[in-house]
A and B are shown apart, each in its own frame.
Chain A
Amino acid sequence: MLADVLIVLVKVVLTLIWTLLLALFLTWVERKESAVLQDRIGANRASVFGLRVFGLFQPFADAIKMLFKEDFAPSFSQRFLHWLAPAMSFFFVAVTMVAVPFGDAVRLFGRRIPLQVVDLNAALLFMLAMLSLGIYGILIGGWASRSRFALIGSLRGAAQLISYEVALGISLVGLIMVFPSLRLSKIVEFQGGMLFGFLPKWGIFLQPLGFAVFFLAGLAETKRTPFDMPEGESEIIGFYTEYGGLKFGLFMFTDFLEVILLSALATTLFFGGWQVPWLGAGGFVFPWGGNLKFAPWAVTVLQVLSFNLKVFFFCWLQILFRWTYPRFRYDQVMDFGWKVLVPLGVVNILATGLILAAR
């Protein structure tokens, strides 16, 4: 009993550390990637004992700066809600990481320990539910500030997020029809199978249209540049106009957590999670014959590495998106969500149903 609690506690802490470190690292990646895209050098001055390492210490310098800024709240704001909004925003995104499987189960001291904090029965729905609660952070933040620009930003944000949540939900229905369960561990396990004997049974091969709709709707959910209606630095300042210091930092951090979450979801649902193509419990078994034996611990390491690589790739891709595309107009965002993504999602459901029925 005590050991079980301890194991869960350790897993929670490790997951949180992984998420926060990756988010910190992403702020650096964002600076560097945008710099390279714009033919600049980017942040490279932060150093520890003269050691610069391409400005890799910049995120820590930023974090320290934000921590020591004055905790400011305007006199006309609603104090409690003003304080609550960034915390809510952060919490509901961070808590979803609990359901993400980082790898297969490992055996330690005669126990079977899955590399996943909790294996929820309806994990997919749990994640969507927590994401939908995240909207309150934006909505309350803008409203409690009692500022016109903040309110415009939060209303825009709420309308956009709730519209794209519909598309996101619909894009996942086809996936649920193909996969045997809503449990993320089962979903990843299922993707270890083979299609036509050589293609890994990943969601992307079973649901290509579903993935397109999912990823685009997910990009809108992260509310970053092509879809940054709630912020729009050059139009309105956004729902965090009246925020500063660590509270603003939490909002900004939440953005990066959402990027990680979308990457983790795309990896888990469509790209086989921790699966490595043709890697089974005993090692590689190639479809063209021949195999490569591996010890169990090496297999586990490879699987966790594969999950991390895929997540990094999608984080990189999203940052690339952000610095490549200009912002949409508000009506374009709404049209794209309701008139393109939702119908495409419905077509995907119908096609999936037809194929499943014909088989």
Chain B
Amino acid sequence: MAWAVFLILSFLCIGSVAAMILSRNQAHNALFLVLSFSSLGGLFGLLDAPFAAAVQVLVYAGAIMVLFLFAIMMFNLRGELPVRVKKTRLAFTVGLGTILLAELLLAGRKLVLGSPGAASAAGGDTARLGHFLFSDYLYAFEITSLLILAALVGALALAGKREGS
């Protein structure tokens, strides 16, 4: 039973990401991404991590992607990029993608080979997760929120400059 759900969800997740990359319509891209985020949330739920599952759907699928879709529908972007820019971007994408893949494999090696029991011990309970976030992982948590705040301020500064000139 759990296997069947797992298979469906993982195929949905990977398939929708592939469809997102292959599709040309920006709004469809965003919707495929929503589907993949939601199925990822389902996978978290299957791993006995209801908090992570709910937050994955609530934050990524429910809030961030709504804003994405909002912007796409509002501006209705049509123009294609010139070929030269496209080629440089492709080179960058392939290079960065390879590095990211290598990093993921390096980081994941331990997870795949190690025992999965340790990770799921604290994953399920919301109270314990909150406790961990605000005690053992406080610095990482605060630094992440600072990073998000910095990105927000940066975006505001960029958008504000265009308005003033």
Contact = CB atoms under 8 A, between A and B. Distances in A.
A120 to B, nearest CB: 6
B56 to A, nearest CB: 8
B70 A158 contact: yes
B100 interface: no
Contact of B27 (A125, A130, A143, A182): A143
B73 A143 contact: yes
B50 A120 contact: yes
Interface stretch (B57-65, B89-97, B141-149): B57-65
A162 interface: yes
A47 interface: no
Interface in A45-59: none
Contacts of B51: 121-122, 125
Interface in B117-131: 124-126
User: Which of the listed residues A128, A135, A136 has the most CB atoms from chain B within 10 Å of its own CB?
Assistant: A136
A309 to B, nearest CB: 30
A187 interface: no
B58 A128 contact: yes
Nearest to A151: B73
Contact of A135 (B38, B55, B66): B66
A129 B58 contact: yes
User: Which of the listed residues A126, A131, A142 has the most CB atoms from chain B within 10 Å of its own CB?
Assistant: A126
Dominant secondary structure at the B interface: helix
Interface residues of B, number: 24
A132 interface: yes
B4 interface: no
A125 B129 CA distance: 14
B34 A136 contact: yes
B54 A128 contact: yes
A151 B74 CA distance: 9
A128 B56 CA distance: 12
Nearest to A84: B31
User: Which of the listed residues B53, B54, B63 has the most CB atoms from chain A within 10 Å of its own CB?
Assistant: B54
B69 interface: yes
A133 B124 contact: no
A139 interface: yes
A133 B73 contact: no
Interface string A91-102: 000000000000
Contact of A122 (B34, B61, B63, B126): B126
Contacts of B74: 155
A155 B126 CA distance: 34
Contacts of A126: 50, 54
Contacts of B111: none
Contacts of B18: none
B99 interface: no
B67 interface: yes
A159 interface: yes
Contact of A155 (B41, B55, B57, B70): B70
A56 to B, nearest CB: 38
Contacts of B34: 136
Nearest to B70: A158
B50 A155 contact: no
A17 B114 CA distance: 48
B3 to A, nearest CB: 16
Contact of A129 (B54, B66, B67, B126): B54
A132 B58 contact: yes
A104 interface: no
Interface of B: 27, 31, 34, 38, 41, 50-51, 53-55, 57-58, 61-63, 66-67, 69-70, 73-74, 124-126
29 contacts: A81-B31, A120-B50, A121-B51, A122-B50, A122-B51, A125-B50, A125-B51, A125-B55, A125-B58, A125-B126, A128-B54, A129-B41, A129-B57, A132-B62, A132-B63, A135-B66, A136-B66, A139-B73, A143-B27, A143-B69, A151-B73, A154-B73, A158-B66, A158-B69, A159-B70, A162-B63, A162-B66, A165-B62, A182-B126
Closest 5 pairs (CB-CB, A-B):
A132-B62, A125-B54, A129-B57, A129-B58, A121-B50
